[in-house]
A and B are shown apart, each in its own frame.
Chain A
Amino acid sequence: MSKVKLSNFQLAVIAIGYFHGSTTISNPAIGAKRDAWIAVILGTLGGFIVITMQLYLSKISKGKNLLEIIEFCFGKTTGKILCLIYILYFMHNAILDTKAFSEFMVTVSYPETPIIVIVLVLIIIAVYAARSGLSVIGKSCEVLVPLLPLAIAIVTLSLLKVTDFTGFKPILLEIPPVIKSSFDLVSSVFADFIVFLMILPYTNSEKGRFKATYWATGISGLILLVISSRNLQIIGPALIEYVRYPSHIAAQLIPTISIDPLVDMNLLIGGVIKVLVSLYAISKITAEIFHIEYKPLVPAFGLLIIVLSFWAFPDAMELYSWEHSMGETLISIPPQLLLPIILLIISLIKNKREQNGQKSQSA
C-alpha cells in the first residue's frame, strides 16, 4: 500500500526518541531510590526480552502490520474487536504523555499560561507530522533526536564535580522496590515498542531491524542509567522521593548559568515523538479497519486526545497518582505482553500448518 520506506537508522532514531519520551522528567526507576541504577539495568534487560519477542512476531508474519497480524490470527471480526483494545491502549498512552508533558511545562516554566495552549501546540505539531506520513517522521527524528543525548551530556558533564558520594550506598537493602521499578520501567518504556509493529513493515531492510532496535534499546538504557545515577548522586536518595522533577533541579544546579531549558527541550522532543507515534498508530489502525484513508482521521484523534486528556486527568494530582499506581502497569500487561505472546503462538502454529499444507500440496 505504502511506498514509503524508512531506513534502519531512522527506525532506531524514532525508537530512541520514543523510549526517551517523558522519562527525563519522571523516571520510573527512581522508585528504587538508591538502587535505581540496578533497576535501570534490569529494566533494560527485560526490555530486550520483550522487544525481541515483538520483533520476532513481526518477522514471522512477513511484512504484516499489527492489524493484519491480529486479523490473520483471530479472523476478521474477532480481530477487529481485539484491535479496539490496541486503539484504546495507544490512546491512553498518548493522553498520559500529553498530560505529563503539559503539566511539567506548567509547573516548571509557564505557571500562568493556560494549559490548553501548551497541549494545543503539542498536538498541532503531532497532527501535522503524523499527517505528513512516516518519511517526515523519520526525517525530523533524524534531526531532532541526536540533540537529546547531547543535551544530557552537557548537563551531566557540567555537574561532574560531585562531593557527596553517599548516593548509592548501601546497595540492595530492599529487593522488592527494585523489582517493582524495573517492571515499571519495562512496562512504561520498553514494552510500548508494540506500537512499532505498525511501523516495522515499512522499513526497507528486514535484516537490519533487529540490530537497529537493539542499538536503540541499548542507547536508551544507557541514557536512562546516566540520568538516574546523576540525579541520585546530586539530589540524594533521601530527597529524591519529595522532588517531582529531579532532572530539572539537577540542571538548575549548574553553577553560574541557567540551562534548565535544555531539559525542557529534551522533553519537548521526546514528548512530541511519543504522542506522534501513538497518534499515527491509532489513525492507521482505525483507517485500516474501515478501509479508508488515514489522513483525515489524524486531526480527529488529535482533538479527541486533547479533550480526553482534560477529562481523564483534570488536575496534576490525578495524573501523578495514576502514573505511580499499579493500575497503569496492570492495564498495560495485556496489550504489551499477553496478546503478543498469544499472537506469536498462533501465528507460529498457523505458519507451520501453512507450510505443511504447501508441502502436502506440492507433494
Chain B
Amino acid sequence: MIKKVILLLLCISMIMTLTTGCWNNRDLSELSILTAMGIDQTEDGKIMVTAQIIKPVDVSSSGAGVSGGGGGGEKSFVVVSNTESTIFAALRTMLAKINKKIFYSSSQVIVFSEDLAKSGIKNYVDFILRDHETQFKSLIVVAKGTTAKEIVEQEYGLSKIPGGYIRDTIKNSKSRGFTKELRLLDMARELATEGRELSIGTIEKSENLTSTEGLAVFQKDKMVGWLDKYETRGYMFITGRAKSGIIEIESPDNPKEIIGIELMKGSSKIEVNSSSNNSIEVNVKIKAEGNVGEQQSQSGQSPDKICKSLSKCLEKQITKECYSAISKCQNEYKSDIFGFGIHVFDKYPKYWQKVTSVWSEEIFPSIQVKVKVDAKINRTGLLSKTIKIR
C-alpha cells in the first residue's frame, strides 16, 4: 500500500516537473509585445530598428468611451529605436532602454524604409527568416517618402494597436486591389525564385493617417521604382490577385460621366509562345465579372441595354491599367515582377537556361505582351436605371 502511494506521488511529481512547459518559459507580464517593426538605414550604413511596443494595461482598459491614441489622450504604445550593425544586435541591445524582453512573434508588420530598399534589402531579410520567433505570416511594406520610424510612430484614432491597424489596411486590399499583400514567406520566395522579381506593397504618410496604396518594384534585392495605384491594380489583374474593387469607367456616350463598376470576380491566365522569329510572346487572358455600382450618366437607356458597351468599356479600362503597368516595368524599371520568366522556364526550359542571366535586362523589356480582357457585367443593383432629374 505504502509502495503504491509512494509510486503515485513519484508519478505526480514527475508529471508536474516535466509538463510545466518550455525551459525558457516567460510569462506575459515579463514580455514587451512588439506589434510593428521598422527597419531603417542610418547614414553610416548601420541599421536602425524601431520597435513598436504595446502597453498591455492600456490596451486592456480601452473601452468604447476612452478616446483613442490620437489627440490629447495618452499613447497606448511606446516606440523605441536602436542602432546597431545587425538587426538582432539592435533588438537585443534595445534591452538597455526597455525593461522587458521583446516578444516579436506578435509582429504584424515589418516596414522597410525607402532608402534601405533602394540600397538593397538582402542584408536585412536573413535575420527575420532565420530567427525562430519571427512569424512567416508578418506582412512586409516599404515606406514611401518617409522613414520606417515615422510609419511605426504613427498613431491612429480608431485603434490602439497601430501594427494591427496597418495590417488590416493591407489585408483589405482584397476589396480594393490597389496594393499587394505580401507575407514574409512570399517575399523570401519571390527573392529566391528566378524569373520573377520582387515587388512589395507601399505605405505612405497622409495627414494623420497612413495609406497603403501602390507597389515598390525591385530588381534583384534593390528597389528601382514605384507603381501608382492604378498600375498596381494592373499588376494585380495580370497576376490574378485582383478579386474585388471599384473600377471607374467613362460612360460610353458621355466621357465626363463616370460609372463605377464593382468587380466581383477576377482571374488571369498567362500563356507564353515563341513567335516565328524566335522571340517570346506573352498572352495574358483576364476574366472579370462585375456589377454596376454607381452611375452618374443620365442616358435615356437603361444599363441593361448598354450592358454590352459597358463591358467593352470595362475591358478597355482594365487593359489600360495592365498595359501601363507592363510598359512601366518593361521600359523604365526593367523588372519582371509579373513572373513571365517562370512561364518561359516552364515552357522552354532550354531557352530559359540560355537567357537567365540577361532576362530582366535584355529579353524582358523587348518581349511582346498581349493583354486580352473578357469582362462581363452581371447585375445593376437595386435600380434598373438612374433616376432622371426633370
Chain A residues engaging chain B, CB cutoff 8 angstroms: 107-114, 117, 121, 163-164, 166, 169-170, 173, 235-236, 238-239, 242, 249, 252-253, 255
Contacts and interface: CB of A to CB of B under 8 A. Distances in A.
Given A170-B345, A253-B137, A238 B189 contact: yes
A238 B193 contact: yes
Contacts of B137: 252-253, 255
Contact of B136 (A163, A242, A252): A252
18 contacts: A109-B22, A110-B22, A110-B23, A110-B24, A112-B23, A113-B24, A117-B23, A169-B346, A170-B346, A235-B185, A238-B193, A238-B194, A239-B188, A239-B192, A239-B193, A242-B188, A252-B135, A253-B137
A108 B347 CA distance: 38
Given A112-B24, A113-B23, A163 B349 contact: no
Given A163-B241, A166-B342, A253 B185 contact: yes
Contacts of A163: 240-241
A252 B138 CA distance: 11
Nearest to B342: A166
Contacts of A242: 188, 192
Contacts of B192: 236, 238-239, 242
B354 interface: no
Contacts of B346: 166, 169-170
Q: Report, nearest first, the 4 A-B pairs whose CB atoms are least far apart.
A: A113-B23, A112-B24, A238-B192, A238-B193
A170 B343 CA distance: 9
A236 B349 contact: no
A48 to B, nearest CB: 31
B23 A166 contact: no
A121 B18 CA distance: 9
A111 B134 CA distance: 13
Contact of A235 (B189, B194, B347, B349): B189
Given A238-B189, A238-B192, A249-B136, 18 more contacts: A110-B22, A110-B23, A111-B24, A111-B132, A114-B23, A164-B189, A166-B193, A166-B346, A170-B345, A173-B349, A235-B185, A235-B189, A236-B189, A236-B192, A238-B193, A252-B135, A252-B137, A255-B137
A239 B189 contact: yes
Interface of B: 18, 22-24, 132, 135-137, 183, 185, 188-189, 192-194, 240-241, 339, 342, 345-347, 349
B138 to A, nearest CB: 11
Secondary structure of the A side of the interface? loop
Contacts of A112: 23-24
Nearest to A234: B185
Given A169-B346, A170-B345, A113 B136 contact: no
Contacts of A236: 189, 192-193
A256 to B, nearest CB: 9
Nearest to B196: A166
A253 B189 CA distance: 13
B132 A107 contact: yes
Contacts of B241: 163
Given A108-B132, A236-B192, A113 B22 contact: yes
A145 B142 CA distance: 46
A117 B20 CA distance: 14
A249 B240 contact: no
Contacts of A238: 189, 192-194
B98 to A, nearest CB: 20
A295 B219 CA distance: 64
A58 B139 CA distance: 56
B14 to A, nearest CB: 10
A242 B193 CA distance: 12
B335 to A, nearest CB: 17
B132 A253 contact: no
Contacts of A249: 136, 185
A114 B18 CA distance: 14
A146 B51 CA distance: 44
Contacts of B347: 170
B357 to A, nearest CB: 16
A220 to B, nearest CB: 28
A89 B185 CA distance: 39
A75 B240 CA distance: 70
Contacts of B132: 107-109, 111
Contacts of B193: 166, 236, 238-239
Contacts of B183: 253
Contacts of A252: 135-137
B284 to A, nearest CB: 15
A253 B183 CA distance: 9
A205 to B, nearest CB: 37
Contacts of B194: 238
A97 B241 CA distance: 42
Nearest to A113: B23
Contacts of A255: 137
Contacts of A114: 23
B339 A166 contact: yes
Most chain A CB within 10 A, of B22, B135, B347, is at B22
A336 to B, nearest CB: 35
A326 B132 CA distance: 29
A110 to B, nearest CB: 5
Contacts of A107: 132
A260 B24 CA distance: 18
B129 to A, nearest CB: 8
Most chain B CB within 10 A, of A107, A166, A242, is at A166
Nearest to A107: B132
A228 to B, nearest CB: 17
B349 A170 contact: yes
B68 to A, nearest CB: 24
A170 B24 CA distance: 45
A255 B136 CA distance: 11
Contacts of B18: 121
Nearest to A110: B22
A214 to B, nearest CB: 36
Contacts of B349: 170, 173
